[in-house]
Amino acid sequence: MPAGFLRKLFSREAAQPFETTKVIAEKKEKRIEAKRLAPFEVAFDTRASTEHPELNQDACVVDAVRQMLMVADGVGGVAKGEIASRAAQEAMGIYDIYLDELMDQKCAQSGVPYLTVDQASEIMDTHFSLIADYVHDAVKNASEVKSVTAAATTLLTAKVFETAPGERYVIVKSVGDSYPMVRRADGTVEMIDIEEDGIVQSWVKKGEVTEDELFLISESGSHEELAETYTEFAEKQGLEISPEKMSSLKKRFDSYFGNGSRRQARSEITQYVGKSRSEKISIHSAVVKVNPGDQLFFSTDGIDALRRRQIQDVLRGEGTVVEKTKALVSAATEANSIEKIRTKPDDITVVGMQVPEDSAVLEQTRQTARLAEVERVKQEDRVNAEAARLKAFSRAKSVE
């Protein structure tokens, strides 16, 4: 959901989309390195729903060489959703080389071995569209789903690009309701702000609830907890608290979690990959600066049983991305077993990637300094040689 007042409280500074057009304009002249960073540490963990332990409808890709991650959640309410998510996984393997070619083409056109932010984002859009079309065709052609016209999946892809020494950015593309997160090197955990395609987000767009009210609903576990947290929030904001408002929020809470019904509004999405070709899909984007030591995590909505502070507690401590992906999946699994209203029997998948420390950049800087020193010495030698030549010529003229 968009970053409202309360969501910003989740971290010291919410991970906004690269401050959007303002900062992109300021960075226009800076070039993003198109390719060939050293491999990043990557990880994933996944667990099937307890309702169908023999079938996991999630799929994922972790590519250390290309610094790319992908998560896809086969739409659980639709038969054969796993065909759509598996097709997205296959497409990543097919089009990874084409991604390299796209970057090479852009570099050849510009005449420099770098990409602008806009160029890199455009390439990721093209890559995402290719995957979406592959999924559409796979679903359409699969014999298992000839009678199923709506098999589909959510899809999130992300890749890290590096600017000339020391600046790296992750470009995220998404359709659906996956969770994009970054754990900063100082322990701060931030939610990457990117538009979601959930029914509950439409409540905000229609003005039926505010962003902050939706956040409070999503973080609550009972009517009593919602009333308590909303009252505290309203008092701090100087808002009037009426019985009608509380009744309305409690009804939204019941709809959000499916209280008294198996149908949970939080699980319903308005847009997904599979049913339509890419030109009919609105691809959401986020571009966020990352620094050495930062860790990126992307998950399917199977972690919904966890509150944001619980996610923060899991990710903020020390540990590798391997350890934290496993810890987050385990925490979500445990929450599903002990929560009542918040429980969500769904497949859970988390992928992670570690932005390496600056050793490579440091070595590059040192190499640049060494080359500069060599060139300085050569230039000095040329100057001295020219001075000696002129001195010898002058002496020769004097003798004459």
Q: Which of 80-84, 159-163, 266-270, 308-312 has the lowest mean pLDDT?
A: 159-163
Residue 29, pLDDT > 60, answer no
Average pLDDT, the chain: 83
Q: Which of 41-50, 70-79, 94-103 has the lowest mean pLDDT?
A: 70-79
Please report which confidence band the pLDDT of residue 340 belongs to, taking 50, 70 and 90 as the band edges. Answer: confident
Residue 44, pLDDT > 90, answer yes
Residue 385, pLDDT > 80, answer no
Highest mean pLDDT among 24-33, 183-192, 270-279 belongs to 183-192
Over residues 190-217, the mean pLDDT reads: 94
The CATH architecture to which 5-198+269-357 belongs is: 4-Layer Sandwich (3.60)
Enter the tokens of residue 344.
Answer: 């969500």
Integer Cα distance of 105 and 90 in angstroms: 24
Q: What's the confidence (pLDDT) of residue 367?
A: 56
Over residues 243-267, the mean pLDDT reads: 88
Q: What is the pTM of this model?
A: 0.80
Q: Which of 119-133, 204-218, 347-361 has the lowest mean pLDDT?
A: 347-361
